[in-house]
Amino acid sequence: MTGTKILLIIGGGIAAYKACELVRLIRRDGGEVTCVLTDAGSQFVTPMTLAALSGNPVHTSLWDLKNETEIGHIQLSREADLVMVCPATADLLAKMQAGIADNLATTLLLATDKPVFAVPAMNVRMWQHAATQRNVAGLRSDGVHVMDPDEGPMACGEFGPGRLPEPEVIWTAARRLIGGGATLRPKTSLSGRHVLITAGPTHEPIDPVRYIANRSSGKQGFAIAEAAAEAGARVTLVAGPVNLPTPAGVERVDVESARDMERAVAAALPADVAIMVAAVADWRARDVADQKVKKDGGDPAPLPLTTNPDILAGLAQSDKRPKLVIGFAAETENIVPHAQAKRLRKGADWIVANDVSGDVMGGAMNTVHLVHAGGVENWEPMAKRDVAARLVERIMDEFPD
């Protein structure tokens, strides 16, 4: 994306704050972004904030005499590789469809000869209104790429379609357009697919008080569940003991031990995709004490262990095997070689490997390598939710529309 020029038009609405993160993502990937802020948009974010993030002046008025002497609005509309409208309010969509040019943003949209990508955000009733749906249909027939909004809770307290998608998902879709895709892949490209995800640790009891566990926070698995639901999938999330909210639109099954998780995974089949993110304990106590084990003042008593079920390998060999089976490998050394060996040993299609020798477990960032039969993809360090969005995008490639 180095050198790619984006003209970002920011409409009014509480979702305008996400435009700041979108600007950061564009800059992170080497793109240049120029912001046009509507009067309504300026009620939610400031020109100073956007200028600091973009490194460019922010345009707010058609009546900037210096720029208009040089026909600045025409120049702005023609210099970009992609014009993005985010958030696109019901008012902006209506004006775009009607060809109204009563401010800088709408004038630019009429003057541009570049692809236009609109990302709606509004109240559920406004989105579902017949007038808005007519406007969206008309814009799409005119060649404007309109992304479907997310479904979920809104700032107004209602629930349904109308939420602005997460910035990473928006930018991923924009990159596809810039890369030459003739049409924008809908947000619902996993619609009708069942995605099964495991997340978090397992707790293997020693006695009624103590257990064997690991440091998995569940954050990566929950982020993937959220991204898959946003892509339109039916998501079943089998979660070990974690203190995380259930993502919107996700069916959650809580479990404690590896054997509990194995049973829950089997009960959730069939599925189109299985993503085994959970850090399942390799071993459990062979004999679980009925009462708390007491210290006797001497050396600790031996703790005989036995092997837990291999959920990933069992799923890969199942007669109900999903089309795409993805495992995770948390390693502290020789990350990629260990992951390549694990993929073959377990029978998985993909292994997502990451180095957990630092503070990854429980942290917000991750650096992963996607290992598959075709080779290894080394992804740059990014937030776990960004890893989730990119992984779901790769999964979409396996399920073309």
The verdict on 160 and 225 lying in the same domain is no
The verdict on 12 and 140 lying in the same domain is yes
What pLDDT score was predicted for residue 162?
Answer: 87
| Segments forming the whole domain that contains residue 323 | 194-284+301-397
Q: Pick the range with the lowest mean pLDDT from 59-73, 158-172, 176-190, 373-387.
A: 176-190
Q: Please name every residue paired with 238 in a beta bridge, in sequence order, or none if there are none.
A: 198, 253
What confidence tens digit (pLDDT) does each residue in 357-373 have? Answer: 765 565 667 889 999 99
Active-site residue, from 20, 35, 86, 156: 156
Assign residue 144 the CATH number of its domain. 3.40.50.1950
The verdict on 275 and 130 lying in the same domain is no
Phi, psi of 119 (to 5 degrees): -120, 100
What confidence tens digit (pLDDT) does each residue in 1-29 have? Answer: 567 899 999 999 889 999 999 999 999 88
35 is catalytic: no
Q: Show which of 146, 178, 210 is a domain's final residue.
A: 178
Q: Pick the range with the lowest mean pLDDT from 16-30, 89-103, 170-184.
A: 170-184
Percent of residues, the chain, with pLDDT higher than 90: 62
Specify if 252 maps to a domain: yes
The verdict on 158 and 204 lying in the same domain is no
Q: Show which of 132, 148, 178 is a domain's final residue.
A: 178
Specify if 239 maps to a domain: yes
Query: Does the predicted TM-score (pTM) go above 0.85?
Result: no
Specify if 220 maps to a domain: yes
Specify if 166 maps to a domain: yes
Looking at the structure of the chain, the number of domains it has is: 2
**Mean pLDDT across 176-181:** 64
What pLDDT score was predicted for residue 362?
Answer: 56
What pLDDT score was predicted for residue 72?
Answer: 59
The verdict on 75 and 198 lying in the same domain is no
Specify if 209 maps to a domain: yes
The verdict on 239 and 111 lying in the same domain is no
Q: Is the pLDDT of residue 187 over 50?
A: no
Task: For the beta carbon of residue 242, count every other beta carbon within 10 angstroms.
Answer: 16
Residue ranges of the annotated binding site for CTP are 282, 292, 309-312, 328, 342, 346
Residue ranges of the annotated binding site are 282, 292, 309-312, 328, 342, 346
The verdict on 204 and 174 lying in the same domain is no
What pLDDT score was predicted for residue 181?
Answer: 41
Specify if 90 maps to a domain: yes
Q: Show which of 143, 178, 213 is a domain's final residue.
A: 178
The verdict on 104 and 223 lying in the same domain is no
The verdict on 128 and 245 lying in the same domain is no
Specify if 189 maps to a domain: no
Assign residue 207 the CATH number of its domain. 3.40.50.10300
Specify if 16 maps to a domain: yes
The verdict on 224 and 88 lying in the same domain is no
The verdict on 10 and 58 lying in the same domain is yes
Tokens coding 346: 């377990």
The verdict on 369 and 335 lying in the same domain is yes
**Alpha-carbon distances of 313 from 47, 52, 360, 363, rounded to whole Å:** 53, 49, 25, 28
